[in-house]
Amino acid sequence: DQIGDAAKKLGDASYDFAKEVDWNNGVFLQAPGSFQPLKALKAIDKMIEMGAAADPELLKKAADAHHKAIGSISGPNGVTSRADWDAVNAALGRVVASVPKQKVMDVYDAVKDITDPKVPAYMKSLVNGADAEKAYQGFLEFKDVVAANQVTTASAAATVPTGDKIGTAAKALSDASYPFIKDIDWLSDIYPKPLPGKTAPETLKAIDKMIVMGSKMDGNLLKAAAEAHHKAIGSIDATGVTSPEDYEAVNAALGRIVASVPKQTVMDVYNSMAKIVDPSVTNNMFSKVSPLDASSAAKGFYTFKDVVEAVQ
């Protein structure tokens, strides 16, 4: 297709730049400017809306392309092979083309809003400037091909199951865990801190397992889960906490996407996360909330998971 051909040209123009970026640099975990959690949540909300509008099959393929690319990483900078670099660009270009232009621009504008204007120049200073310019020229040509292949109307909303066992169980889970949710400091700057003692390549392994799980999920249910998050963001209070109803809808939606993949795929995520999250991190989270509320939430979760497993 045209986007695939254009991705090869983009690769010619950008692979030198890709090799020069230190993908293992811890700086990428930091907010791209001052820390403004509510504004950042708005930017993420725009990405969620874009993800929910995207063609689920193309999202799956993009997840697969990323998984494959992680498998061909080499060298200290963590760069993938040239072929996989091109394949990721092509897959993302197709995802972009599957949503109306305005949804993409909304992400760009919201991200710009939380990005310090000095950040791009700083990023450029870490690589060969001429190679960055060459990559950007390549991107400008690529985006015209994407625009020429772009849909103009948004896809239909997802179909949300009703009256299913997971929906019923989500009500009980949400009642048991909403007090815990209210105890959590959602606006804290602790969540983007580096995991103690873990390197980027180690962390990437766990993310790879999530990508694999995401790729196996039912596309309609994943879309529904993204829509439920978007709705929940719309009802947050000043502390970032969503309404009980929207929280319940998120739990139901996530239970359903978990049930749409094999148990082992879920356990692979859990086990890989357990390898990189030191118990001190979990204990620190626990120390900031009411222990009774946390244990009620945990009990609710362990009951919920049996319902999920039964329909998995």
Please report whether residue 52 would count as binding ligand CLA according to CB under 6 A.
no
Q: Give the integer Cα–Cα distance in Å for 131 and 141.
A: 16
User: Nearer to ligand PID by C-beta: 14 or 162?
Assistant: 14
Counting contacts by CB under 6 A, is residue 158 touching ligand PID?
no
Whichever of 144 and 162 has its CB closer to ligand PID, that residue is 144
Among 44, 151, 154, 172, binds ligand PID (CB under 6 A): 44
254 binds ligand CLA (CB under 6 A): yes
**Residue 92 touching ligand PID (CB under 6 A):** yes
Three-class DSSP category at 32: coil
Task: Tell me which residues in 166-185 interact with ligand PID (CB under 6 A).
Answer: 181, 184
Q: 195 to 254, contacts with ligand PID by CB under 6 A?
A: 195, 200, 203-204, 207, 210-211, 213-215, 222-223, 226, 229, 232-233, 236, 240-242, 247, 250-251, 254
**SS3 labels along 120-137:** HHHHHHCCCHHHHHHHHH
Angle between the N-to-C axes of helices 129-148 and 2-20, in degrees from 0 to 180, rounded to the nearest 10: 160
The smaller minimum CB distance to ligand CLA, of residues 206 and 254, is found at 254
How many Cβ atoms sit within 10 Å of the Cβ of residue 140? 11
Please tell me the distance from the alpha carbon of residue 17 to that of residue 123, in angstroms, as a whole number: 11
> What whole-number distance in Å separates Cα of residue 227 and Cα of residue 182?
22
Q: Applying CB under 6 A, does 225 fall inside the site for ligand CLA?
A: yes
Contact 281, 196 (CB under 8 A): yes
CA-nearest of 201, 194, 310 to 256 is: 310
Asked whether the beta carbons of 206 and 275 are under 8 A apart, the reply is yes
Picked from ligand CLA, ligand PID, none, the partner binding residue 289 (CB below 5 to 8 A depending on kind) is ligand PID
Q: Which residues bind ligand CLA (CB under 6 A)?
A: 44, 48, 173, 177, 184, 225-226, 229, 233, 251, 254, 294, 297-298, 301
